[in-house]
Structure 1
């Protein structure tokens, strides 16, 4: 059964197809959770919670082609809620990954992303870390493609400015 067929059946209430859909996207969902929550235990807990939420709401997906994007959005929203609730999200804390060591450019990137507002972080994450197309982001956010493009452009300009400011601070 191909991905679209699995999505269609899951949306119609087929439990076996829903489990297959979750298996297909498990890695992407875990990667998303790890990117936000920074530890494996919380990421696995998030995957369980998102599975339950998705199971109860799968019938609301209008287009089977967007099932993966829909699942990732649920994961992102859940992770953002967890971070707010636990007040754990501090830019300096993002400097340590699962292995405890990252190179300087990755640390800088994480700090720059942490400095962005939540909506802009999500936009960058969807576009560049999950390779979601602008058209799909527009549908997911229920906004025109042009708005997605302009927000993306603005966010990238903010990141550029962040790095230019950081570079200036280091050389003074």
Structure 2
């Protein structure tokens, strides 16, 4: 997406803003759907993201980072909704999207794992979901969260370590 389009949107050009959202709507939907695993909540997340982005586009300092900025707004919204409604991501979603864990954990372990992920600090939850469930690279996560790659690597390491310790302490995994 051109920086000029973002600049026009920042000046109040509603057509330019609509084009920005239209350009990224499939990605936004895909990410939101992965969080909620239902169309209604995913569409609501996109609607809220669009509203928040429209309201604050003038604050976007780097027009070239509009995609990461939109994803950050969306991710924050999704995690806040999950926490606010005290609902977990559906078990089916976890099962379908845990390719790396499916051989290592049975269904009960995955349920426990999901609960433990939701108990992590918000920043650690984000990196786990973005990396292992959304498939983003460390570099992409750094852009989405507007943090250095080294911070993202540290957060991933910290999250995985906390999860492993919790799971082993509670006997949810066999020390694999």
TM-score bucket of the superposed structures, by smaller chain: 0.7 to 0.9
| TM-superposed deviation, 1:79 | 1.6
Query: Residue 6 of structure 1 corresponds to which residue in structure 2?
Result: 5
- Extract unaligned runs of 5+ from structure 2: none
In structure 2, the residue matched to 1:54 is 53
- RMSD over equivalenced CA pairs, Å: 3.5
* Number of aligned positions between the proteins: 163
Which residue, out of 135, 148, 154, partners 2:152? 148
- The alpha-carbon distance between structure 1 residues 131 and 103, as it changes in their structure 2 partners (threshold 3 A), is closer
1:85-124 correspondence to structure 2 within 5 Å:
85-89=84-88, 94-97=90-93, 102=96, 105=102, 112-116=113-117, 117=120, 118-124=122-128
With normalisation by structure 1, the TM-score equals 0.72
After superposition, the Cα gap between the structure-2 partners of 1:84 and 1:152, relative to the gap in structure 1 and judged at 3 Å, is closer
* Structure 1 unaligned spans of 5+: none
Task: Give the SS at the match of 2:16.
Answer: helix
What is the TM-score of this pair, normalised by structure 2?
A: 0.71
2:139 alignment counterpart: 134
Q: CA deviation at 1:44?
A: 0.7
